[in-house]
Chain A
Amino acid sequence: MADSAFIRRLKPLASLQLTILLIALLMGLVVACTLAQVHLGVFGAVKVYMRGFLVWWGPEGASWKIPVAPGGALVGLLLLINLTAAMFVRLEFSWRKGGLWLSHIGLILLFTGEFISGSKQVESNMAIKIGQTMNYGEDLRHVELAAVDPGGPDAKEDTVYAIHQRRLAAGRTISDSRLPFTVKVVKFMSNSRVQQAPFLAAKGPANAGAGTEVIAEEAPNAPSEEQNTPSMYAELSAGGKSLGTWLFSTALLPQTLELDGKKYELALRLVRVYLREHEQEMPYQLTLKEFHHDVYPGTQIPKNFSSLVRLQDSVKKEDRDVLVYMNHPLRYRGYTFFQASFGENDTLSVLQVVRNPGWTIPYIACILVAAGLAWHFLARLAPARRTS
């Protein structure tokens, strides 16, 4: 059977030599990523070697960087293409090759799953005290500018306006009919040192709010993003009238802005991820009832951490107790809650909250690859026996 033009064009993409080269490159990247973790931390190393399409390098202190190697994303993508092409070009569709088909499909699924969770996974943290109720997790790596309108004396709910970090770049103006004011970003610092403004010395750019007393100076990024203190200077205006330049920082308490007789609480805070499937829904909430930190008798070795929480959801009419403990997370409506940490003399429990729409993919992929490999190798064993 003559190959179709399509198949012929696919051939170079499907070559085994390319597969070997890509596997070798991936191994190199994995080694580099592992060694780099000593200095960059896990997130930093993964960002440099794995998440990007190219690995960039420049001498220390220099402003220029050149690409020196393909990054994990590029190698992964090429492997995906190579795998897919190989299935069409090299693998005949037969029982004999069934195992390879199955394992290659599983691998494609695994790679796709990693791309999905790489782009879609949202991780947040919920530090919750005993007796406290929370309906959101905090994303430790991103901040938002929030304006909270507590409403009138008989209002039951706050109205919250929040602007995500990715829109808070210097020079940008954010105006929206839903916002009570316009924000013009003067300077955004992903990490900063916030301190008392020195007496008589050069003042910061702020002329309103807390920024008149403290200043924020840009600082190099901390080894992991969670340790950064983001700050920003922004000019607020309403109806064409300036409300002054303000300093916002995660190191500062919320500041009050009076506008048209309303009081708004302004703060730069960790992005809140509300526990709901759709924007318009009422988020569901968790109340921490008990936290246990068991140790082995006569030692400090932890035996178990567990949080007993009350899950209340007005949308699904759920109201029940759930025990979250090591290796036993709570999965509820798209979010998974893990026992991550604890503090304040065992009265505070920290839950890791993860939303990952692709979490089931690795499970399926693993079964496919394992079954495929077993099929292939066992099928190989049988004729080897007969010929010997």
Chain B
Amino acid sequence: MKLTWIPALGAVLLAVLFGLRAPSPKGLDLAGAGSLPVLQNGRVKPLDTVARASLLVMRGKQTVRDGQRTLQPTEWLLDVVAHPEVADKYKVFMVNDADVLAMLGKRPDEGRFWSFEDLAPKGEEIRKQAETASKIEPQRRDRFQRAIVGLEEKLTAYQRLKNSFQVEDTQDFTAEMAAYAAAIPAGVQAFRARQAGQTFDPAALERLGPFLQRYQFLDQASTFRPLLPPKGGTDKDWSTMGSGLLNALRDGQIPPHAAQYALMLRAWRAEDVNAFNAAVGALKADAEARIPDNASKTRLEVLFNRIEPFYLGIVFYTIVALMFFVSWLAWEKPLQEAAWWLMIATLALHTFGMVTRMWLEGRPPVTNLYSSAVFIGWFAVMLAIPFERYSRRGFAALGGAIVGGATLIIAQGLTGQGSGDTMEMMQAVLDSNFWLATHVTTITIGYSATFLAGLLAHMWIFRDFWLWLRGMIQRALGQAQGETDFASPEAPKALVKATYGVICFALFFSFVGTVLGGIWADQSWGRFWGWDPKENGALLIVLWNALILHARWAGIARDRGLMVLAVVGNIITSLSWFGVNMLGIGLHSYGFMDKALVALLTFISFQELVMAFALVRPLVPPSATRWLVIWFVAHLFLIVLHAFGINEKGFIYFVGYMAIQVVAIAVAAMWPKADAKATPQLT
């Protein structure tokens, strides 16, 4: 047996180990602090996740730099809560919008990351502008209004984060707690006496008053609940630092967990390594004892965060794809062998990431847009494996790696949405593991297979275009090039077979998934089919796959036609995956995402370009070339036009225009002259 799998596995393992290194600058137990559990947005998560999610929302990245050094997310969070004077200098706010920058008195060439200190002088102005803009419906806001509202939300989130453990002006939280505990007995007694109309000590009441104000403020401001429930308690029993301290009024006892946090924050401020590590150790032990299940989950979540399996997935899938591309030029067999094993190792990593998420959430793989992207890529690679084993030309594997890498990039792009946490709790109507496991998973498999078929079609078209180009060059140079496996007539046949098979697979899963969705709807609001945009999107995929197969059986779509139609499948799937969310209507909508819209339109335009390339060989130049250039320029113009003035109406026109183009090209590709050689039917 050849040992070609060793370098692949070694590379992936090395990358994982690199991520797993426990960060401990100056001997601080940062890993321990990062794994401390808190309750945020209804979910128990480690502080490390809170830090990463906050950074993602504010900065668009999970890390921040302090001069030359890159801070760990947990390190940044500890500075924010314990040492805000320092944290306020970190450049964590991403401001991209030129108009917002102008309002702040900054120039775009000064950079796009700003610190709280940079923005604070303009805080009032930002708040006023955001208030004006937020009166307008989200969909009708212009670019500046969206940007200013976004910036204000980030600033508010940052300020709330600062006040999640202690009020931000606190110097020594432990001393403050001691003073508070000392003021409680006399203060409570005075309060009771006043209530009962007896004589009381106003000074004692006055001593307690400011503490109560501070802790009420803490309770309101904090974005998470750090104080653990008692042993055997539920998620409802977590409390904020503020309410935990207010509860101390009853018995005069500061909750021990709160006191430990105070010690930890004080030690961090004082850079006292031993005291810090001791406090973190005590907090960890407390969590282990009181909530063992949650504690083991948070530990795993921190590992998952550090390995970043999906980020590594992007890197490795890209390498796999490049290796396959190069293999068609040189070192065909050894490169393909190595790329194959690297893909398997990357898939293992991808699987680890997905299964970890499933275990942490206690849910089937797909629960939101983010996880659908992760799953589509994963399944496309899984599906590519048997097809690759069958044909062994690298096509199916390359297709899988491209879909896998691209969807992970999409997932990465979706992470900054909302609260920044991709494992949010499910809304009541979606809270059904049975339907998430059946309907959502099958429909996503349908998406995945349709994308893979489209990718295989790309390769067929690319090969065809490449042959045409090579033929032109050969004619010009008057010499023949050496033959490779890629150029052999067997290659396109294998591709056609694989594409056809994947389309059959896609039809089955998209149909079953769509109907299961109808049945879910019937179960939850009594309407099997409601013509909701997302339902319609799924239906379009089913209809399209059915149309391709019928066109094939009728002999209308031969090889070229089949491939062009399969590329259209990509457009339809991307529209039903994201386009309907952008319409801003319907039960499934997630809001208008303008950046994603530009990406989507660019993708669709690219797909049309690929379709047009399929026409290059059958239509003899120069007329076709001229036609192609005109079409391409017109198209670019339209893309630019719409990238600048996108609104709902523009979107609808654009979709209409795209549809006409797609139909025109598809019909042209199926025109009898387009594929002179009759191809044997597969049915």
Contact = CB atoms under 8 A, between A and B. Distances in A.
Interface of A: 16-17, 19-20, 23-24, 26-28, 30-31, 33-35, 37-38, 42, 45-46, 50, 110, 113-114, 117, 123, 295-299, 301-305, 326-329, 336, 338, 340, 352, 354, 356, 359, 362-363, 365-366, 369-370, 373-374, 377, 380-381, 384, 388
B17 interface: no
Interface of B: 39-43, 224-225, 235-236, 238, 390, 424-425, 427-429, 431-432, 435, 497, 501, 504-505, 507-508, 511-512, 515-516, 518-520, 522-533, 536-537, 539-540, 543-544, 546-547, 550-551, 553-554, 556, 580, 583-586, 648, 652, 655-656, 659
B550 A23 contact: yes
Contact of A23 (B504, B547, B556): B547
A358 to B, nearest CB: 9
A379 to B, nearest CB: 11
Contacts of A302: 427-428
23 contacts: A19-B554, A30-B539, A30-B540, A42-B532, A46-B531, A50-B531, A117-B528, A295-B42, A297-B225, A298-B41, A299-B425, A301-B42, A302-B427, A304-B428, A326-B431, A327-B431, A329-B524, A338-B524, A352-B525, A359-B522, A362-B522, A366-B512, A366-B515
Contact of B523 (A24, A303, A329, A377): A329
Contact of B515 (A26, A27, A362, A381): A362
Contacts of B512: 366, 369-370
Contacts of B529: 114
Given A16-B550, A327-B435, A33 B527 contact: no
Contact of B505 (A26, A114, A356, A377): A377
Given A20-B556, A297-B39, A297-B236, A370 B511 contact: yes
B395 to A, nearest CB: 16
A267 B523 CA distance: 35
Contact of A20 (B531, B532, B547): B547
Given A297-B238, A299-B42, A362-B519, A37 B524 contact: no
Nearest to B514: A366
A298 B655 CA distance: 41
A336 B540 CA distance: 29
Contacts of A336: 526
A305 B236 CA distance: 17
Contacts of B540: 27, 30-31
A373 B507 contact: yes
Given A20-B554, A23-B547, A114-B529, A31 B428 contact: no
A23 B546 contact: yes
A42 B543 contact: no
Contacts of A352: 525-526
Contact of B655 (A35, A305, A366, A369): A35
B425 A27 contact: no
Contacts of B236: 297
B526 A356 contact: yes
Nearest to A361: B528
B531 A33 contact: yes
Nearest to A363: B519
Given A23-B543, A370-B511, A327 B41 contact: no
A126 to B, nearest CB: 12
Contact of A42 (B40, B525, B531): B531
B431 A303 contact: yes
Contacts of A24: 547
B335 to A, nearest CB: 25
B531 A45 contact: yes
A49 B645 CA distance: 29
Nearest to B579: A34
Contacts of A301: 41-42, 424-425, 427
Given A27-B544, A338-B526, A17 B583 contact: no
Contacts of B225: 297-298
Contacts of B523: 327-329
Contacts of A33: 531, 536
A331 B39 CA distance: 38
A173 B525 CA distance: 38
A104 to B, nearest CB: 11
Contact of B39 (A23, A30, A298): A298
Closest 10 CB pairs of A and B: A296-B42, A354-B526, A16-B554, A366-B515, A302-B428, A23-B547, A34-B536, A377-B504, A373-B508, A297-B236
B546 A16 contact: no
A176 to B, nearest CB: 33
Given A46-B531, A303-B428, A365-B515, A37 B42 contact: no
A164 to B, nearest CB: 22
A19 B511 CA distance: 17
Nearest to A19: B550
A327 B528 contact: no
Nearest to B42: A296
A326 B428 contact: yes
Given A34-B537, A301-B427, A362-B519, A340 B525 contact: yes
Given A299-B425, A366-B512, A20 B550 contact: yes
A297 B528 contact: no
A296 B41 contact: yes
A370 B431 contact: no
Contacts of B543: 23, 26-27, 30
Contacts of A30: 536, 539-540, 543
A326 B431 CA distance: 8
Interface centre among B429, B522, B540 (most CB of A within 10 A): B522
A299 B544 CA distance: 41
B590 to A, nearest CB: 15
B117 to A, nearest CB: 30
B522 A31 contact: no
A34 B39 contact: no
Nearest to A365: B515
Contacts of B531: 33-34, 37, 42, 45-46, 50
B508 A377 contact: yes
Contacts of B40: 298
Contacts of B42: 295-299, 301, 303
Contact of B425 (A296, A340, A354): A296
Contacts of A20: 547, 550-551, 554, 556
Contacts of A326: 428-429, 431-432, 524
Given A34-B536, A35-B652, A303-B431, A362 B518 contact: yes
B659 A31 contact: yes
Given A326-B428, A326-B524, A359-B522, A366 B516 contact: yes
Nearest to A90: B553
Nearest to A293: B428
Contacts of A304: 428, 431
Contact of A327 (B432, B507, B551, B585): B432
A33 to B, nearest CB: 6
A114 B531 CA distance: 12
Contacts of A110: 515
A26 B585 CA distance: 21
A294 B584 CA distance: 27
Given A38-B652, A296-B41, 10 more contacts: A19-B550, A34-B580, A38-B585, A46-B531, A296-B235, A298-B224, A299-B425, A362-B515, A369-B515, A370-B515
| Residue among B501, B528, B580, B584 with max Cβ neighbours from chain A (10 Å) | B528
A303 B425 contact: yes
Contacts of A388: 390
**Most chain A beta-carbon neighbours within 10 Å: one of B505, B507, B529, B655:** B529
Nearest to A27: B543
Nearest to A294: B428
B518 A17 contact: no
A204 B518 CA distance: 48
Which of A297, A352, A362, A380 neighbours the largest number of chain B CB atoms within 10 Å of its CB?
A: A297
Pick the most buried of B225, B551, B584: most chain A CB atoms within 10 A of its CB.
Answer: B551
B515 A327 contact: no
